[in-house]
Amino acid sequence: MIEIENVHKSFGELKVLKGINLTVDKGEVLTVIGGSGSGKSTLLTCINGLEPIDSGRIVVDGTDVHARGTDLNKLRRKIGIVFQQWNAFPHLTVLENVMLAPRKVLGLSKAEAEEIAVKQLTHVGLAEKLSVYPNRMSGGQQQRMAIARALAMSPEYMLFDEVTSALDPMLVGEVLDTLRMLASEGMTMICVTHEMKFAREVSDRVAFFHQGIMAEIAAPEQLFDAPQHPETKKFLAATH
Amino acid sequence: MFNTALTWNDLVFLAQGAGMTLMVTAVSVAAGTVLGIVFGLIRVQCGPYWSAPLTFALDVFRSVPLLIQLVLGNALQSIMKLGWPPFTTSCVVLSLYTAAYCTEIVRGGIGAVPPTTRRAARSLGMTWWQDMRYIVAPLATRVSLPSWIGLTLGVMKDSALVLWLGLIELLRASQILVTRLQEPLFILLICGAIYFIISFPIARLGGYLEKRWSPND
Ligand SMILES: Nc1ncnc2c1ncn2[C@@H]1O[C@H](COP(=O)(O)OP(=O)(O)OP(=O)(O)O)[C@@H](O)[C@H]1O
Ligand SMILES: [Mg+2]
């Protein structure tokens, strides 16, 4: 369970999160929508401790992420994150990209790590690409590799930050299919996305962010068909 | 064929000079690179403010002519009664000189690794050190290699200045022969050829590694 309590965060003078309260249960799929600069990405990076917060608390399975003694490297093993920019390690093959963290972070043997990596890469449809270098693959393939790389750590939570935004429209489908598959397998996910159709289809709940505030959170039918907050209405009208 | 007074023994003498050049260069580049990596990391990790004294010191080593550094270094070691032989003094000064340049190369190489790539590594649970070791080091090495090869070749030629401390390296050995045999053009030609023969493999090694790594980037 991820519990976010009254989280405030600013970059210098700029207040980016202004008191976010949110609980995500095991097995839930939450999508986050909202305008540019509303703090969606920042919230995700705060959840796995890549960014510090100013006040409030984020608790993952009972561990306070931002408490002093928390071992973030250990915590991050169970929170996978995939970014908009796919961030392949360019000097490693696809297989090595996925094997690296299981070997070095989890301390698995080469054979064990390889087995896991092959399994995850097959899962996302890249079984043919094991010995290829990332720059030889399309954006969609690199993004699926990044997903497999995160999954190879057997995370309990997955955070996706606009994973299709940097892709050609042609390649969006294959990545969304991968996310759908994960959702159907019961993975706990927080997806920041601009794909409204996808959000409606896979989410248990949809949260709308506006200027650092979570303006509205509801089941997808409710949020998309009968939005309550005026800003949600405006945003949905603009994106349709 | 040639009408020259150069004997087999003279050639051996030149080869010994070349050996000295290689030794001084190898020691200085090795030590300078290790120091450069350490200083480069300090500069990247501590930020411009805390590393300002180090930056200043390295700027001094980069801007004062090497000859002056060698002479001052030698004077300093004798004032401090360190009793260093010229070889040690030469290597220490050249190492610091190399380190000053290498620090910049290392800093540039680390800076060239995209922060988003490093963030991805950390988000997988890798520690700072693992990120450095498995992501930053290989990527930065690729970026820095051409400059590092250039630095090595430069240090090899600059190492000729250690003759001022009395070391007989390649250039000094040639000078001695020129004075004795009065055949400057011929001997300097041989000297230049020897410099080329030792530089060429290093330059080629750089080209080879660059080519080997490039399809992966
Ligand atoms: N590292 C940073 N340093 C300074 N400002 C930042 C940093 N990261 C984000 N910001 C600022 O914080 C605000 C919120 O950014 P964030 O990336 O969370 O928005 P977002 O909702 O993800 O937007 P988008 O849909 O464009 O990705 C923006 O104004 C952004 O410029
Ligand atoms: Mg964002």
Residues A125/A169, Cβ–Cβ less than 8 Å = no
The residues, ordered by sequence, that sit 6+ positions from B15 with a Cβ below 8 Å of its Cβ are B194
Residues B11/B137, Cβ–Cβ less than 8 Å = no
pLDDT digits (tens, 9 = 90+) for B102-128: 999 999 999 999 999 999 999 999 999
Q: Where are the strands (E) in B90-199, listed by range?
A: none
Q: What is the pLDDT of residue B215?
A: 59
Q: What is the pLDDT of residue B150?
A: 94
To the nearest whole angstrom, how far is the Cα of B99 from the nearest Cα of chain A?
A: 27
Q: What is the pLDDT of residue B200?
A: 94
State chain A's mean pLDDT as an integer: 94
State chain B's mean pLDDT as an integer: 92
Q: Decide if pLDDT at A108 tops 90.
A: yes
Q: Decide if pLDDT at A121 tops 70.
A: yes
Rounded to two decimals, the pTM is 0.88
Chain centroid to Cα B159, Å, comes to 9
Q: What is the pLDDT of residue B216?
A: 57
Q: What is the pLDDT of residue B172?
A: 93
Contact list, B119 vs chain A (CB under 8 Å): 50, 83, 87
The answer, yes or no, to whether any atom of ligand 1 lies below 6 A from the CB of A41, is: yes
Q: Decide if pLDDT at B217 tops 70.
A: no
Amino acid at B20: M
CA–centroid distance, residue A40 to ligand 2 (Å): 6
pLDDT digits (tens, 9 = 90+) for B8-22: 999 999 999 999 999
Of A81, A100, A150, the CB nearest to B134: A100
B94-153 residues touching A, CB cutoff 8 A: 114, 116-117, 119-127, 130, 134-135, 138-139, 142
What is residue B189's DSSP assignment?
H
Q: Decide if pLDDT at B1 tops 60.
A: no
Please judge whether A105 and B216 are an interchain contact, meaning their C-beta atoms are less than 8 angstroms apart: no
pLDDT digits (tens, 9 = 90+) for A207-224: 999 999 999 999 999 999
**Complete domains list, chain B, with CATH:** 23-167 (1.10.3720.10)
Q: What is the pLDDT of residue B5?
A: 82
Q: What is the pLDDT of residue B148?
A: 95
Tell me the average pLDDT across B134-163. 94
Whole-complex ipTM? 0.90
How many CA atoms lie within 13 Å of B192's alpha carbon, on the beta-carbon side?
A: 6
pLDDT band at A171 (very low <50, low <70, confident <90, very high): confident
Amino acid at B165: L
Amino acid at B100: A
Parallel, antiparallel, or unpaired: how do β-strands A157-161 and A14-24 relate?
A: unpaired
Tell me the average pLDDT across A77-89. 92
Q: With left for phi above 0 and alpha for psi between -120 and 50, is residue B213 left, alpha or beta?
A: alpha
Higher pLDDT, B155 or A167: B155
CA distance A86 to A175: 12
> Ligand 2 being an ion, which residues bring their Cβ within 5 A of it?
A 41
Q: What is the pLDDT of residue A168?
A: 84
Tell me the average pLDDT across A154-180. 90
